[in-house]
């Protein structure tokens, strides 16, 4: 499993996500530990990698960052995790509880954007401190102990 500590923020539009990523970069957060998911998201010159796919129930989305490899794996294996679709399966693979993954998928269906930072607990705490000042509509943290506690 990938690092099981994450902070996930929901933003209303692409501009907000891009501003948040720039803020994280300004404070030397490792961009390779960031994942972005959104419908109609276009990549810029500083995007490391992206995956464009049509996800059942969500539509066309663009995914960048560590989450991308888990979603690609879920698409290739055509799996679903207990009522969670492909993006949710990728989120669960990163240690995010199933109920939260379903919630994040719902936000994507409404046209929202997700920004997630993954890593050691201290890295995630630092990212949370930066992300919270960027004005997300919602921000949550997840850890391996949380997943274990709910039996995921």
Q: Give pLDDT tens digits for 26-47.
A: 999 988 888 888 876 554 434 3
Average pLDDT over residues 111-127: 91
Q: Give pLDDT tens digits for 41-73.
A: 554 434 333 344 465 555 556 666 666 666 656
Which of these ranges, 68-77, 103-112, 114-123, 139-148, has the smallest mean pLDDT? 68-77
Find tokens 């199933």 and name the residue: 98
Nearest in space to 91 (alpha carbons), one of 82, 21, 125: 82
- Give the Cα separation of 13 and 118 in Å (integer): 21
Tally the C-alpha atoms within 13 A of residue 124's C-alpha that lie toward its C-beta.
Answer: 20
Rounded to two decimals, the pTM is 0.74
């Amino acid at each position: 499993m990938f690092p099981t500590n994450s902070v996930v923020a929901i933003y209303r539009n692409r501009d907000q996500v891009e501003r948040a990523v720039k803020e994280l970069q300004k404070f030397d957060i490792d961009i390779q530990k960031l994942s972005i998911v959104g419908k109609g998201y276009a990549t810029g010159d500083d995007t490391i990698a992206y995956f464009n796919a049509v996800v059942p129930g969500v539509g066309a989305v663009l995914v960048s960052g560590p989450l991308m490899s888990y979603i690609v794996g879920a698409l290739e294996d055509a799996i679903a995790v207990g009522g969670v679709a492909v993006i949710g399966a990728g989120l669960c693979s990163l240690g995010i509880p199933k109920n939260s993954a379903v919630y994040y998928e719902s936000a994507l269906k409404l046209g929202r954007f997700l920004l997630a930072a993954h890593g050691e607990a201290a890295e995630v705490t630092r990212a949370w401190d930066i992300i919270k000042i960027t004005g997300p509509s919602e921000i949550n943290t997840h850890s391996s102990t949380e997943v274990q506690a709910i039996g995921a």
